[in-house]
C-alpha cells in the first residue's frame, strides 16, 4: 500500500452502535457521544437513522438528537434513510449534511430490513441521493449484505459490482460496501474492493465491517490495501442490525485506529482521546464493550 497513507474514518457508533442494544441510550448521552467523537477527531459521523420508530425504537429520537448537535462547519453529519419519507424527515431538520442510503443484494433480506426487493432498494437509494443533491446536500449509497446474506448465503462479486455500477448513475459521493452480518474474509474483501473500484470510475469506496466472526480488522486491512478510501467503525465496537440474525458489533474505532496508525496510515483520530471516550461510553452502557485496545494498556506508554 505504498501510495496510500491516509484513510478517512466514519464514526457509526451513534447509529449502528446503539440500534441493537437492550439498553435504550438517553438522547443526551447520544449527543455527548457525538461531541466526544468530534473531540477525538471524527469529522464524518453517522448520527442517527430516520426510520420508522415502531421498527427501530432506539432511533425514535432522531429529530430531537439532531437538534442537539454542535454547529460545526468542519463535521459532516450523516443521517441514514431508507425511503423518500426518511429523506424528507432528515432534510427537514436542516442539520443533516449527508443522506446515507442503503440498498441490499437480496430480496429476502431487503423485505425484512426495509420492505423492499433488492431492485426496489437500489431505486430508492438512487432517489434518496437525488433528493439530497437537490437540497444542496450530499448522498452516498451503501450496498448492504455485500459479502454474504443471512438468508441466501454467498453473494456473487459480479452482483455487487453490477449494483455499484448502476448506483453511480445517481452521482453519490461514494459507494460503501457493508458486511452487515460479518461473514467476509480478507481475500473476498480484496477482490470485492478491487473490482468495485474498477467499476465505479474514480468514485471513493467505503467499507463497513462487523466483527461477528473475528475477521473485522483483517478485512479493514485488506480493504485499505486495495484502496478503500473510507472505513466505518464504532467506538467500543458496538453495533448490529436488528433484522440480521446473530449480528454482532462493528469493528471498533480504537482498534482500527491503533492498527492503521501504527502501520503508518493516518486516520485523523487521536487514539488516547478515543480510548478515553470509550471508557466514558463503557460507563454509559454499564458493561465491558467488545473493543480490545481500550481495555489494554496504552502502547507505546
Of 13-21, 129-137, 195-203, 252-260: span binding Zn ion (CB under 5 A): 13-21
Q: Between 130 and 207, name the residue whose CB sits nearer to Zn ion.
A: 207
Q: Between 131 and 207, name the residue whose CB sits nearer to Zn ion.
A: 207
Q: How far is the CB of 237 from Zn ion (least distance, A)?
A: 12
Tell me: does residue 16 bind Zn ion (CB under 5 A): yes
Q: Which residues are catalytic?
A: 241
Q: How far is the CB of 212 from Zn ion (least distance, A)?
A: 10
Q: Between 16 and 97, name the residue whose CB sits nearer to Zn ion.
A: 16
Tell me: does residue 46 bind Zn ion (CB under 5 A): no
Q: How far is the CB of 52 from Zn ion (least distance, A)?
A: 18
Q: Between 10 and 163, name the residue whose CB sits nearer to Zn ion.
A: 10
Q: Between 2 and 22, name the residue whose CB sits nearer to Zn ion.
A: 22
Of 9-17, 58-66, 114-122, 164-172: span binding Zn ion (CB under 5 A): 9-17
SS3 assignment, position 1: coil
DSSP assignment letter at 249? P
Q: What angle, 0 to 180 degrees and rounded to 10, lies between the N-to-C axes of helices 216-225 and 253-262? A: 50
Q: Which of 216, 255, 229 is nearest to 1 (CA)?
A: 229
- Give the span between the Cα atoms of 265 and 78, in whole angstroms: 24
- Give the span between the Cα atoms of 142 and 163, in whole angstroms: 10
Contact pattern from residue 150 through residue 189 relative to Zn ion, giving x for each residue in contact according to CB under 5 A and a dash for the rest: ----------------------------------------
Query: Which secondary structure element, helix H or strand E, spans residue 113, and what is its range?
Result: helix 107-114
Of 8-16, 94-102, 112-120, 264-272: span binding Zn ion (CB under 5 A): 8-16
Q: Which of 251, 254, 285 is nearest to 267 (CA)?
A: 254
- Give the span between the Cα atoms of 150 and 301, in whole angstroms: 42
Q: Between 16 and 61, name the residue whose CB sits nearer to Zn ion.
A: 16
> Can you list the positions of beta strands (E) in the chain?
8-11, 44-50, 76-81, 98-104, 138-144, 175-179, 205-209, 230-233
In the block, which residue shows the cell 466472526?
213
- Give the span between the Cα atoms of 21 and 149, in whole angstroms: 22
Q: How far is the CB of 250 from Zn ion (least distance, A)?
A: 6
Own/partner pairs, 60-69, CB within 8 angstroms, 24+ separation: 61/27, 61/30, 62/89, 62/90, 63/89, 63/93, 64/27, 65/14, 65/27, 65/30, 65/31, 66/93, 66/95, 66/96, 67/93, 67/95, 68/27, 68/28, 68/31, 69/31, 69/34, 69/95
Q: Between 16 and 254, name the residue whose CB sits nearer to Zn ion.
A: 16
Number of Cα atoms under 13 Å in the Cβ half of residue 118: 19
Instruction: Name the closest residue to Zn ion (Cβ).
Output: 16
Tell me: does residue 8 bind Zn ion (CB under 5 A): no
Task: List interacting residues with Zn ion (CB under 5 A).
Answer: 16
Amino acid at each position: 500500500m505504498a501510495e496510500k497513507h491516509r484513510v478517512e474514518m466514519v464514526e457509526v457508533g451513534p447509529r449502528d452502535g446503539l440500534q441493537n442494544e437492550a439498553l435504550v441510550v438517553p438522547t443526551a448521552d447520544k449527543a455527548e457521544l457525538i461531541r466526544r467523537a468530534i473531540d477525538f477527531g471524527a469529522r464524518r459521523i453517522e448520527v442517527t437513522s430516520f426510520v420508522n420508530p415502531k421498527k427501530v425504537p432506539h432511533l425514535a429520537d432522531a429529530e430531537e438528537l439532531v437538534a442537539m448537535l454542535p454547529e460545526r462547519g468542519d463535521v459532516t453529519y450523516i443521517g441514514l434513510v431508507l425511503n423518500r419519507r426518511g429523506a424528507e424527515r432528515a432534510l427537514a431538520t436542516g442539520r443533516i449534511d449527508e443522506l446515507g442510503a442503503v440498498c441490499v443484494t437480496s430480496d429476502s433480506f431487503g423485505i425484512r430490513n426495509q420492505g423492499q426487493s433488492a431492485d426496489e432498494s437500489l431505486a430508492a437509494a438512487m432517489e434518496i441521493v437525488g433528493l439530497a443533491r437537490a437540497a444542496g446536500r450530499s448522498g452516498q449509497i451503501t450496498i448492504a449484505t455485500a459479502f454474504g446474506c443471512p438468508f441466501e448465503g454467498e453473494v456473487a462479486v459480479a452482483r455487487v459490482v453490477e449494483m455499484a455500477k448502476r448506483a453511480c448513475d445517481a452521482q453519490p459521493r461514494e459507494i460503501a460496501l457493508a458486511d452487515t452480518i460479518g461473514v467476509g474474509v480478507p481475500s473476498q474483501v480484496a477482490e470485492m474492493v478491487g473490482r468495485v473500484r474498477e467499476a465505479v470510475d474514480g468514485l471513493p469506496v467505503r467499507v463497513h465491517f462487523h466483527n461477528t466472526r473475528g475477521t473485522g480488522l483483517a478485512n479493514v486491512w485488506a480493504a485499505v490495501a486495495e484502496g478503500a478510501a473510507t472505513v466505518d467503525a464504532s467506538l467500543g465496537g458496538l453495533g448490529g442490525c436488528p433484522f440480521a440474525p446473530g449480528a454482532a458489533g462493528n469493528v471498533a474505532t480504537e482498534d482500527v485506529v491503533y492498527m492503521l496508525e501504527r502501520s503508518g496510515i493516518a486516520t485523523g483520530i487521536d487514539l488516547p482521546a478515543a480510548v478515553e471516550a470509550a471508557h466514558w461510553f463503557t460507563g454509559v452502557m454499564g458493561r465491558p464493550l467488545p473493543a480490545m485496545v481500550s481495555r489494554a494498556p496504552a502502547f507505546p506508554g
